[in-house]
Amino acid sequence: MHLHRLSAAIAALCVVSATAVFAGDWSNWRGPEYNGATDATGLPATFSKTENVKWVVDLPGPSAATPIIHGDRVFISSATDPQTAKLLAMCFDRKTGKLLWSNQVGSGYQLDDKSNYASPSPVTDGKVVVFFYGNGALAGFDMDGKQLWARNLQEDYGDFTFQWTFSSSPTLYQGALYMQVLQRDQPVHGHGKDGQESYLLKLDPMTGKTLIQHVRPSDAQMESRESYGTPIPYEGAGRKEIIIVGGDYLTGYDPDTLNELWRWGTWNPGHREQWWRHVPSTVIGDGVALVCAPKKAPVYAVKMGLKGDTSYEDGLVWKSADKSTVTSDVPTPLFTGGKFFVLSDLTKRLTRIAPKTGAVEWEIEMPGRYKWRSSPTYADSRIYCMNHHGDVVVIDPENGKILHEAAMGDNDDDNIRASVSIASGCLFVRTNSKLYCIGK
């Protein structure tokens, strides 16, 4: 081989190797496998507001929405201040942080003082990016910011009936858009009506047209009918499913027809508890799905591959002990390396759990005085957690050792809820006022 051909071949190999190291988008809230993990490597071991910062941009306002990355684009949902009350769909250049486009999707700010209407994360498949907001505004854009369609779910299906600001994120799977609205069947805060139904939607992501609406019944009561989780796709046990949790049940649906394949419950026997709204999405690993029951209740592992109405006993693999530190009211657990990791905002502990047995393999106390409500994410042999103050803690998944801590928030920051997302060899950290791209 001639020398110049050998050099070209080596250069091409280096490009391929670099692509393999840094490949992977974070195209939905829970990452490429819907479990909070990615196989990206090459991330910096240490970082701060000034160390290993590729770029940082100011944001117009706070939001719990996680940054979504596809190729060279970073998508962000944001609200402005309560006075201007704009709901924005934004796109930044992944390499430079330059704002590529910003579109106002709706108006409004919040239903309560815990979060705002921009809490749901966007989702993309590289052809369309969909933004949803807690006031019902839903819109699709192409990658260059051209609006393809817009609608409002409250206008189409009636007022949302939630105690808190609705914040389920949309899911794109096999060319279709899925959304869940699990809500009360009676008015709340002066909104809604008696008999209001919960439902699951399948939409055309290019037009926003509803393809199927499936009414999702529940005999839960009051606030326990509410869910703020996100539909999770699952492929296993010889079929494909859309899994949703809430209203005292875990259920699986055929993604083509939205026919209910199975139903399991309940963590609320007799539906006695009326104030058990459900926040975490389910996470699936090693053939089981985790359900985090609310307000210091246990975590439940449910076997996948169920059919029809399944009894509590027949579907349950294990549950954590009553009054255990293994519980989560808000964060969605992580699955990686054949293990579940449950972050508790109530006990301030991160726990590694064996999927088949529920055995606790290690448990650590999270530092600081702020709540830990962002969901943990994983890449490059490290777990990343962020608290309300914007403090990011990096943890070794093998032993629970804290490897690094970085204070990324401002002095007066609180209620930061966006999870850390990871793509192209970089961490994307969103605080109340800034978006950081962290990389070597």
pTM above 0.85, yes or no: yes
- pLDDT tops 70 at residue 238: yes
CATH architecture of 64-279: 8 Propeller (2.140)
Confidence of residue 177 (pLDDT cuts 50, 70, 90): very high
The overall average pLDDT reported for the chain is 93
Question: In this predicted structure, what is the pLDDT of residue 17?
Answer: 33
- From the options 3.40.50.300, 2.60.200.20, 2.40.128.630, 3.40.50.10330, give the CATH code of 334-440: 2.40.128.630
Q: What's the N-to-C CA distance of the chain in angstroms?
A: 35
What are the tens digits of pLDDT across the range 243-295?
Answer: 999 999 999 999 999 999 999 999 999 999 999 999 999 999 999 999 999 99
Domain with CATH 2.140.10.10 in the chain: 64-279
Domain with CATH 2.40.128.630 in the chain: 334-440
What are the tens digits of pLDDT across the range 75-103?
Answer: 999 999 888 889 999 999 999 999 999 99
Average of per-residue pLDDT across 225-239: 96
What are the tens digits of pLDDT across the range 63-75?
Answer: 999 999 999 999 9
Cα dihedral 391, 396, 399, 401 sign = negative
Answer for the pair 86, 103: CB distance below 8 angstroms, yes or no: no
Question: In this predicted structure, what is the pLDDT of residue 19?
Answer: 32
**Separation between Cα atoms, residue 428 and residue 420, nearest integer Å:** 6
What are the tens digits of pLDDT across the range 2-18?
Answer: 444 444 443 333 333 33
- Give the 3-state secondary structure of the chain: CCHHHHHHHHHHHHHHHHHHHHCCCECCCCCCCCCCECCCCCCCCCCCCCCCEEEEEECCCCCCCCCEEECCEEEEEEECCCCCCEEEEEEEECCCCCEEEEEEEEECCCCCCCCCCCCCCCEECCCCEEEECCCCEEEEECCCCCEEEEEEHHHHHCCCCCCCCCCCCCEEECCEEEEEECCCCCCECCECCCCCCCEEEEECCCCCCEEEEEECCCCCCHHHHCECCCCEEEEECCEEEEEEEECCEEEEECCCCCCEEEEECCCCHHHCCCCCCECCCCEEECCEEEEECCCCCCEEEEECCCCEEECHHHHEEEECCCCCCCCCCCCCCEEECCEEEEEECCCCEEEEECCCCCCEEEEEECCCCCCCCCCCEEECCEEEEECCCCEEEEECCCCCCEEEEEECCCCCCCCCCCCCEEECCEEEEECCCEEEEEEC
- pLDDT tops 50 at residue 437: yes
Question: In this predicted structure, what is the pLDDT of residue 85?
Answer: 87
* Share above pLDDT 70 across residues of the chain, in percent, rounded to a whole number: 95
Question: In this predicted structure, what is the pLDDT of residue 109?
Answer: 73
Answer for the pair 116, 62: CB distance below 8 angstroms, yes or no: yes
What are the tens digits of pLDDT across the range 313-356?
Answer: 999 999 999 989 999 999 999 999 999 999 999 999 999 999 99
